[in-house]
Structure formats: C-alpha cells, structure tokens
Amino acid sequence: MTTSAQARLPGGAPSAPNHGTTTMLLHWGAAALLVAAFALGLTLEDWPRGPQRDTVMMVHYSLGTLVFGLVMIRLLRRLLLPQPPLEGSLAARLAAGAMHWALYAMMVALPLTGALDRWARGRRLAIFGDNVIPAPFPIGGGRVWGEAHEVIANLLLALVALHVAAALWHHLVLRDGTLRRMLPALRA
C-alpha cells in the first residue's frame, strides 16, 4: 500500500517515498540561487569599476550567503531527520551518497572561499545593502582564496551536470521514480 507521500511508477508499482515539501523547497531554492550567483560571478569582471559593479558584487555575495544558509539548513535536516532510503544496487547507492555529500561540500566551500577571498585581500564583504560581515580573524593567503573559489565553482558546475544527468537517466531510462521524488509537478 502506498502512502500519500509515495508516487507510483508506470504500471502502478510504488516508488520510494517522496521528499517532503520543505526538502524540495530547500533543494530548488538553493539551485535557483546558485544559478543566479554563478551567472553574476561570470559577469563580474565585465563591469567597469564603480557603483554599478559594487552593486552587482554585493548581490553576488548576498546570493552566496543565502546559498550557504539554505545548505546549512538542509544539512541539519539531513543529519537530524530520517531520509527516504536510496534505491538500487550497493554501487548505485554509494555513488548517489558520494554525489550528494560532494555537492554539499562544494556548496559550503564555495561561499566560504568567496568570503575568505574578500577578507584576505582586506576588502569589505557587504551583503543585502550596506550590511558588512567583518573578518572573524586575520586571514592570510591573499588571492589564493579567489583562485580556490573559481576552481570550486567549476567543480560544482561539473557535479551539478552529473547530478542532472543521473536524475534524467533515472527518469528516462530506468523509469524508477527517482526524479518524481524531488519534483512536485511529477508527484503521484
């Protein structure tokens, strides 16, 4: 018997339970914020120095701060609340678990290295207008944090592409309901 939190696969077989609404909102909210922050990050160097560039940078930092907050909430929920079980072979479950933890690690490291880059170069980290987050302690390393930020952004982009490809593989080839668990429009 399926519960209201379960979808049915083609043919009527129940799939694993869906993720809850809060988990879906955190997932898709972080995804949307990441896309926006990444798009702004790609254009930062194109803006001439001045007030407009400062505003674009502040929005980029604000989006990164929101991503960090959503990911921390998602991690706490994942650690404290039971999760729907992963399905498939042991290798598939290990790959899925490794992918999820790698995504979390990159989504935490990306905004942290961005902040460390600002602080290590003696610059302000202004978010949501003129709210400034001061360096919590002296930060060394200079531009190395900015380089790390760029490398992590590209690694995250590659991981997201693999994550999307795996979701589409499950949906289009395996037809196992995995994607339905995270998309409200495809539920039930």
Rounded Cα distance between 140 and 61, Å, is 20
Residue 128: the pLDDT is: 94
Domains of the chain with CATH codes: 16-186 (1.20.950)
Q: Is 16 helix (H, G, I), strand (E, B) or coil?
A: strand
Average pLDDT over the chain, rounded to an integer? 86
Residue 93 has a CB neighbour count (10 Å cut-off) of 13
Residue 14: strand pairing partners: 8
Question: From CA 59, how far away is CA 37, in angstroms rounded?
Answer: 8
Residue 80 neighbours by CB under 8 Å, 6+ apart: none
pTM: predicted TM-score of the whole model, two decimal places: 0.83
Give the residue ranges of DSSP H helices in the chain. 21-43, 51-80, 90-120, 144-168
Most confidently predicted of 15-19, 153-157, 169-173: 153-157
Cα torsion 139, 144, 149, 151: sign: negative
| pLDDT exceeds cutoff 80 at 102 | yes
| pLDDT of 175 | 84
Tens of pLDDT, residue by residue over 29-66, are 999 999 999 999 999 889 999 999 999 999 999 999 99
